């Protein structure tokens, strides 16, 4: 018997759960039919049982899932929930793909593969027509004593005709790959996907810095133009070089000093783009703003290229060093 049930949903979904499942008495009826003990099938109108999806800016909870950021926020919340349960060896997770939008089911499958252990199982619930549609009263489970349901055309059908199948979905377990490759699994869904892609050999693209043009490219895409954003270039260059050469930048002051040293070193080098030689406003406030600007420039879908300390002990990039290319350096400088 299942110990407890946890649902991830929107505010509208919560309202329907409470009114149609809890307040209607349907959940208690199911528990009675299954002879559930007090410590079995625990579920109710509380934050542990019904977990809401926050908006991307964390200012409120989602009423529905419509935009790309809504879906990313939903995936991140799924990761947080699954991480919490799968990190506990005393808990076995039985996840369901049924219900919600198709993207929610898809995300559940992806997230489950990223976090699930061998004892965790992924299921889908199938029910025959017309019990998967609108009936009056709603078909919620197959009771021992038959119930008559009215179809949209007014005809009646007995719950005895319902057939429910619980289908176990084979799962590709990727959980152990992250500690082996990176030390631990990242917390956000987008980070998980990027690192899983990297492990599979199809992930991050090369990050290239060119001192002669002042441009920064990811793959074939130019993301920063040095003649327009020299300070952004130097901050990004410095963190990239420190990441590549494993130079610890544990504080913002250390980062400021390193950025200044990099700019000063190339200030009189005529190989370097003129704009880069002439400008670099290096102070704590300016560098903090620069990192925020860089994050906006790169976009939320490329967090592995951000500068940060979230999972690392110093300011650096999380992409592998071999993907960082610093053009314009002499052999001695490399």
Q: What is the pLDDT of residue 275?
A: 80
Q: What are phi and psi of 50, to 5 degrees?
A: -115, 100
Q: What is the pLDDT of residue 323?
A: 85
Q: What is the pLDDT of residue 180?
A: 55
Q: What is the pLDDT of residue 69?
A: 86
Q: What is the pLDDT of residue 102?
A: 84
Which residues are within 8 A (CB) of 112 and not within 5 positions of it... i.e. 6 or more apart?
A: 82, 95, 120, 122, 171
Share of the chain residues as helix, strand and coil, in percent rounded to the nearest 5? 40, 15, 45
Tell how far CA 282 is from the center of its chain: 33
121, exposed or middle or buried, with CB in 10 Å at 0-12, 13-18, 19+? Answer: middle
Which residues are within 8 A (CB) of 271 and not within 5 positions of it... i.e. 6 or more apart?
A: 211, 212, 328
Closest C-alpha among 330, 223, 239, 233 to residue 279: 233
Query: Per-residue pLDDT averaged across 181-203, rounded?
Result: 59
What percentage of residues in the chain have a pLDDT greater than 70?
86
The whole-model pTM stands at: 0.59
Give the confidence band of 334 by pLDDT, cuts at 50, 70, 90: very low
Cβ proximity of 319 and 304 under 8 Å: yes
Give the confidence band of 311 by pLDDT, cuts at 50, 70, 90: very low
Kindly provide the residue ranges of all beta strands, DSSP E only, lying in the chain, ordered along the sequence.
7-9, 50-52, 94-96, 121-127, 148-150, 156-158, 164-168, 207-210, 215-218, 221-225, 324-327
Query: Per-residue pLDDT averaged across 20-28, rounded?
Result: 94
CATH architecture, range 206-327: Orthogonal Bundle (1.10)
Per the document, the length of the chain is: 334
Q: What is the pLDDT of residue 179?
A: 63
Angle between helices 252-266 and 230-244 (to 10 degrees): 110
Cβ proximity of 236 and 224 under 8 Å: yes
Neighbours of 333 (CB within 10 A): 10
Q: What are phi and psi of 158, to 5 degrees?
A: -85, 145
Cβ proximity of 114 and 175 under 8 Å: yes
Between these two residues, 269 and 303, which has the higher pLDDT value?
269
Cβ proximity of 185 and 111 under 8 Å: no
Structure tokens at 67: 């935009």
Provide the residue ranges of all domains of the chain, joining segments of one domain with +.
Answer: 7-179, 206-327
Cβ proximity of 218 and 305 under 8 Å: yes
107-132 pLDDT per residue, tens: 899 889 888 988 999 999 999 999 98
Query: Per-residue pLDDT averaged across 4-31, rounded?
Result: 94
221-250 pLDDT per residue, tens: 788 886 677 888 888 888 899 888 888 888
Lowest mean per-residue pLDDT among 7-11, 189-193, 274-278: 189-193
Q: What is the pLDDT of residue 147?
A: 93
Q: What is the pLDDT of residue 107?
A: 87
What percentage of residues in the chain have a pLDDT greater than 90?
38
């Amino acid at each position: 018997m299942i110990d407890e049930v946890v649902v991830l949903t929107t505010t509208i979904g919560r309202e329907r759960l409470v009114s149609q499942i809890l307040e209607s008495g349907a959940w208690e009826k199911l528990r009675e039919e299954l002879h559930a003990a007090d410590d079995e099938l625990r579920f109710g109108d509380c934050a542990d049982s019904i977990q809401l999806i926050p908006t991307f800016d964390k200012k409120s909870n989602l009423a529905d899932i419509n935009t790309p950021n809504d879906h990313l926020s939903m995936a991140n919340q799924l990761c947080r929930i699954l991480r919490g349960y799968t990190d506990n060896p005393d808990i076995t997770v039985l996840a369901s793909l049924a219900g919600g939008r198709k993207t929610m089911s898809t995300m559940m499958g992806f997230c489950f593969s990223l976090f699930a252990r061998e004892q965790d199982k992924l299921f889908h619930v199938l029910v025959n027509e017309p019990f998967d549609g609108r009936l009056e009263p709603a078909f919620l489970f197959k009771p021992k004593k038959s119930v008559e349901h009215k179809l949209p055309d007014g005809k009646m059908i007995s719950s005895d005709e319902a057939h429910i199948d619980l289908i176990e979905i084979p799962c590709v377990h990727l959980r152990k790959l992250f500690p082996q490759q990176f030390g631990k699994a990242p917390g956000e869904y987008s980070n998980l996907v990027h690192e899983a892609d990297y492990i599979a050999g199809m992930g991050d693209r090369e990050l290239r810095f060119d001192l002669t043009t002042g441009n920064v490219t990811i793959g074939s895409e130019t993301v920063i133009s040095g003649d327009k954003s020299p300070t952004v270039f130097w901050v990004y260059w410095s963190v990239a070089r420190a990441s590549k050469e494993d130079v610890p930048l544990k504080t913002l002051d250390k980062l400021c000093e390193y950025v200044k040293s990099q700019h000063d070193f190339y200030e009189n080098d005529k190989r370097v783009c003129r704009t880069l030689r002439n400008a670099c406003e290096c102070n704590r406030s300016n560098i903090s703003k620069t990192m925020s600007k860089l994050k906006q420039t790169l976009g939320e879908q490329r967090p592995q290229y951000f500068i940060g300390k979230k999972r690392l002990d110093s300011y650096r990039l999380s992409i592998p060093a071999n993907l960082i290319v610093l053009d314009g350096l002499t052999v001695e400088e490399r």
